[in-house]
Chain A
Amino acid sequence: MKLNLGGVTEAGRSKQNRTGNWRYFLPVVDQKRCNGCGTCELFCPDSAIEINNKLCLINTFYCKGCGICARECPRSAITMQVERGVAV
């Protein structure tokens, strides 16, 4: 791919990056507790949560496992579970 003049680059191409593989902890949503309020979506720094029909969906391709969603959920419907290795 030829380089663009002046280093100008296209919008939104970060979507190709699988930042999910940075993750140690995976947010797991208890759908029975979740009422789809969207607090987690609002606070997710990685745009890795989608609320669809009041259902909270975690996009594991992008989720870095920071745990803000679990901490901020007003109904404690999200728990962080160890996914791989141990965070140090």
Chain B
Amino acid sequence: MNPEAIKSKEIMQGSAAIAETIKAIAPGVIAVYPITPQTHILEHLARLVADGQLKSKYITVESEFSAASVIFGAASAGVRSYTASASQGLLLMTEVIFNMAGTRLPAVITAVNRSLSPPINIQVDHQDTMTLRDSGIIQIYVESIQEAVDTHIQIFKIAEDREVLLPAMVCMDGWILSHAYEPVTLWRDEAVQEFLPPFDPVFQVDPKNPLTYGALTDDDKITEFKYMVHDALIRSKEKIKKVAGEFRDAFGNYYGDVIEKTYTEDAELILIAMGSMAGTIKAALEKLRAQGKRVGLIKIRSFRPFPDQELRTALAGAKAAVVLDRSFSCSSGGILGGEIKACLYGQGGPQVINYALGIGGREIYPETVLEIVNQSERLVESGKIPPETIFYNLNRELL
């Protein structure tokens, strides 16, 4: 850690840490709408604005649909803009998020992951953000509160880069990261400002240069417009890597670039996961390694852009990849699992075992991981890896 950049080191709640970081990033426009477990972020921001510590226009909208729309408008006028949401709120934003990506507006959203209704449930899983995966938004999933803090600083730089210009989302697990208290290092405002150049858009809404936004297009150009979003998202991968490196140089912290590898070099079995679950798996890995088991972990930081080539390379020597999904697509199965299978298909990589688990806050303990590793080893040995997703600990007695 770069001691010069440190503002404070204290045990604090994840939401407070995020709000304090947003203050350092200083967006011009912040739109807010409450939903559990994101609410503490916006309440903390409100206090910062009320005390004059944060000069942003703080807009208390009447829905998440409008929260996303307000930051769409602000970004179109060339101003850095931000909101946070979760679950139903993120889904209500869906149409606007597609519109932001297509219009190439780099607003940033903190997604505090939570399950979707019904039944209504306020606990964590990844169904909300995974459902937005096709929109063109950048999605980085984080493992710890510190990573959430640091990723917020990085993600504005990535999204606002003229070669990227896409909306972006930091996905942090509800409760486990938003409400937990951990030791957190906060960075000095000046250090953040120095790292993060001002937003300098290519186009902006301005009477001095009247432009038309949101034009109508026919089939002669529409594939190309959509391809440009696809392509920009793919190219943002290099930017994510670069900015992760720059962040390490400026602040000293590093969490991998698009993926993070733990004990993968010699691993026969590689677990793949996103979010706070990665921390649990790391704890389990220590036990497994102590038992001499060649098991490793790939934590996916950047789900969008999808780290396909990086995964293929990292998985090349493994016998099996065990993908742990915190969301699934009905009738098709784990979303991450499906994408990893597609990315490995025909490339001679490992076999893929896919689990869905941790839905609606069902706890994932280190023991859960140990048991999954055990099961997976048996499946590899038996040669009977099921092509479909395994719903871990599904209670059939209730069905």
* Physical contact A–B (CB less than 8 Å): yes
Chain A residues engaging chain B, CB cutoff 8 angstroms: 3-12
Q: Is the CB of B215 within 8 A of A9?
A: yes
Q: Judging by beta carbons under 8 Å apart, are A7 and B214 in contact?
A: yes
Majority secondary structure, B binding face: loop
- Evaluate contact between B103 and A4: CB separation under 8 angstroms: no
Q: Assess whether B165 is in contact with A5, with CB atoms less than 8 Å apart.
A: yes
Residues of B within 8 A of A10 (CB): 211-212
| Chain B: minimal CB distance from A16 (Å) | 14
Whole-angstrom distance between the alpha carbons of A74 and B211 in the complex? 37
B221 interfacial by beta-carbon distance below 8 Å: yes
B residues near A7, Cβ cutoff 8 Å: 102-103, 213-215, 217, 225
Please report which residues of chain B, range 209-227, place their CB below 8 angstroms from some CB of chain A when the two chains form the complex.
210-215, 217, 221, 224-225
B330 within 8 A of A: no
CA distance A4 to B165 in the complex (A): 13
A-B contact count (CB 8 A): 39
How far is the CB of A49 from the nearest CB of chain B, in Å? Answer: 23
- Assembled-state Cα–Cα distance A11/B214 (Å): 12
Closest to B203 in A: A8
| Chain B residue with the shortest CB-CB distance to A5 | B104
B104 and A11 contacting across the interface, CB-CB below 8 Å: no
Give Cα A33 to B129, complex, Å: 68
B contact set with A: CB distance below 8 Å:
102-105, 165, 202-203, 210-215, 217, 221, 224-225, 228
Q: Which of A3, A8, A9 contacts B224 (CB 8 A)?
A: A3
Interface centre among A6, A7, A11, A12, by most B CB within 10 Å? A6
Complex alpha-carbon distance, A67 and B16, angstroms: 65
Tell me the bound Cα distance from A9 to B210 in angstroms.
9
Residue of B nearest to A12 (CB): B210
B345 shortest CB reach to chain A, Å: 32
Q: How far is the CA of A12 from the CA of B221 in the complex (A)?
A: 20
Question: Is B221 a contact of A5 with CB atoms below 8 Å?
Answer: no
Beta-carbon contact of B212 and A11 below 8 Å: yes
> Which chain A residues border B102 with CB–CB below 8 Å?
6-7
**When the two chains form their complex, are residues A3 and B225 in contact, meaning their CB atoms are under 8 A apart?**
yes
A residues near B217, Cβ cutoff 8 Å: 7
Determine the distance from Cα of A7 to Cα of B214 in the docked complex, in whole angstroms. Answer: 6
CA distance A42 to B215 in the complex (A): 27
Bound Cα distance from A5 to B165, whole angstroms: 9
CA–CA, A63 and B155, complex, Å:
51
A6, B221: Cβ atoms under 8 Å? Answer: no
In the bound complex, residues from chain A placing their C-beta under 8 Å from that of B203 are: 4-6, 8
A18 CA to B20 CA, complexed, in Å? 57
Further pairs besides A6-B102, A6-B105, A8-B203: 19, Cβ < 8 Å: A3-B221, A3-B225, A3-B228, A5-B104, A5-B165, A5-B203, A5-B228, A6-B103, A6-B213, A7-B102, A7-B103, A8-B103, A8-B211, A8-B213, A8-B215, A9-B212, A11-B210, A11-B211, A11-B212
The 4 closest A-B CB pairs, nearest first, are A6-B104, A11-B210, A6-B103, A8-B203
Q: Which residues of B contact A4 (CB under 8 A)?
A: 203
Return chain A residues, CB-CB under 8 Å to B214: 7
List of A residues within 8 angstroms of B211 by Cβ: 8-11
A8 (CB) vs chain B CBs: closest residue: B203
Enumerate chain B residues within 8 angstroms of A11, measured Cβ to Cβ: 210-212
Chain B residues near A8 (CB, 8 Å)? 103, 203, 211-213, 215
Q: How far is the CA of A12 from the CA of B210 in the complex (A)?
A: 9
Interfacial chain A residues near B165, Cβ < 8 Å: 5-6
Across the interface, which residues of B come within 8 angstroms of A3, CB to CB? Answer: 221, 224-225, 228
A8 to B103: give the CA distance in the assembly, Å. 8
